Amino acid sequence: MNARPEKLVVVGAGSWGTTFAKVLADSAIERGVVEPEIVLWARRPEVAEDITARKRNTDYLPDIDLPACLSATTDLAEAVAGAGLVVLAIPAQEVRGHLPAIRAHLDPAAVVVSLVKGLERGTDARMSELCAEELGLPDERFAVVSGPNLALEIARQEPTATVVASADPATAEWIAVRTSGPYFRPYTNTDVTGVEICGVVKNVIALAVGICDGLGYGDNSKASVITRGLAETARLVESLGGQAETLAGLAGLGDLVATCASPLSRNRTAGRHLGQGLSVEEATARLKQTAEGMKSVSAVVDLARRHGVEMPISEAMNAVIAGALDVDTLAGLLLARDLKPEGRS
C-alpha cells in the first residue's frame, strides 16, 4: 500500500459530517498523533467560522465542544489538497456535482470514504459506483462507513459500533485504525454493495415506520414493517451480489433498528410528519437536514424494478412521496402480499 498523507478531510459539515470529523480527531488524539490535521469543508462561511474559531457547530450540534485540532473551510480545493482520507458527508443528490473538484485535487494515494446513505436519482447509482466513474477510483481506494450512526449520540461519546466496508481488507483496516477510539468501535468487511444498499433502504423503511407512528399505530404495526422491510432489503442486496450475512449485522439490522426506533432519526421524523397530515413539502421544511429516504426512494424502486425485486413497502413509500397515495390508505398496502410462508420470497 502506498504511503498516504495523514491529513484527514470531511466534505460536509452537517451533524454526521461534523461528528465523524470529531471521531477522526478523537481517534488521532487517542493514538498520540502529534498535531493531527482534521479539516471540514462547509458550504456556508458562518458554519466554517463557527467550527474554526469557536470549536462549535451551533446549527447542527449546538451543545458539543469540538476538538481543538478541527478546522473548517469553504474552499473545497484547499480542504482536499494533500489529504490521505477524503470523507463524503453530503446528500446523495449533491455528490456528483462535487466530485470533479475533488478529483482535481485528490492525492494519488488517497482513500475516499462515503458516509452517504442514498442513491442518485436518474441513474440509481450507489456512491461506490459514482466514485469509480467520476474519480476513476479503483475499488481498493474506496470504502463506506455505515451502521447505527445517530450523529448526536456519537457526538456525545455514547458507545457505538460501526462497519467499515472496502473491497480491500487492508484499506478497511487503515480506516478502522483512524476511527477507532474509546466510544467508537469499527468492524471491517468487504461487502461494499450490501452495506451501501442496507444504508439506503433502511431510510425508506424508517419513513414507513414514522408514518405508522404519526397515524397512531402501535408497536406491532411498526415491528411488522421493520421485519418485512428487512426482508425486502435482503432481496435487493442479494440480487445485486451482496452478502446475506450483512443483513444480520450492524449495517443491516443494527442500522435499521436505530433509524426506525430513534426520535433522532430524520427519516422516522419525516415519516411521522407525513402520518400527522403534513405534505411532503411541509415535512421537508420542518427538517434542518436531508431525509435521504424521501430523496432516494424513487431510485430504490427503480433499481428494484430493473432487477425484478419485489419491494412493496418501498413501492408504497414512493407513491406517498410522489403524491399518488394518501397516508390514510397506507395501512393495507404496507403488508399487502399474497399469503405464503414467511421468508424472503
Element holding 191 (H helix, E strand): none
- The more confident residue out of 344 and 17 is 17
Q: Which band of pLDDT confidence, cut at 50, 70 and 90, is reported for residue 4?
A: confident
Mean pLDDT of 181-190: 97
| Residue 182 pLDDT exceeds 60 | yes
Give the contacts of 191 (CB within 8 A, at least 6 positions apart).
165, 242, 243, 245, 246
Percent of the chain with pLDDT over 90: 90
249-259 pLDDT, tens per residue? Answer: 999 999 999 99
- Residue 344 is predicted with a pLDDT of 46
> Sign of the C-alpha dihedral, residues 26, 28, 34, 37?
negative
| Residue 131 pLDDT exceeds 80 | yes
62-88 pLDDT, tens per residue? Answer: 999 999 999 999 999 999 999 999 999
Name the residues annotated as catalytic. Answer: 202
Mean pLDDT of 7-30: 97
Spatial distance between the Cα atoms of 146 and 87, rounded to a whole number of angstroms: 13
| Residue 288 pLDDT exceeds 90 | no
- Residue 1 is predicted with a pLDDT of 46
Range of weakest confidence among 84-93, 201-210, 305-314, 323-332: 323-332
- Residue 2 is predicted with a pLDDT of 56
> Sign of the C-alpha dihedral, residues 115, 119, 123, 124?
positive
- Residue 335 is predicted with a pLDDT of 60
Q: Are 128 and 97 in contact (CB under 8 A)?
A: no
| Residue 340 pLDDT exceeds 80 | no
Mean pLDDT of 4-22: 96
Q: Where are the beta strands (DSSP E) in 60-146?
A: 70-73, 83-88, 111-114, 142-146
pTM for the predicted model, two decimal places: 0.94
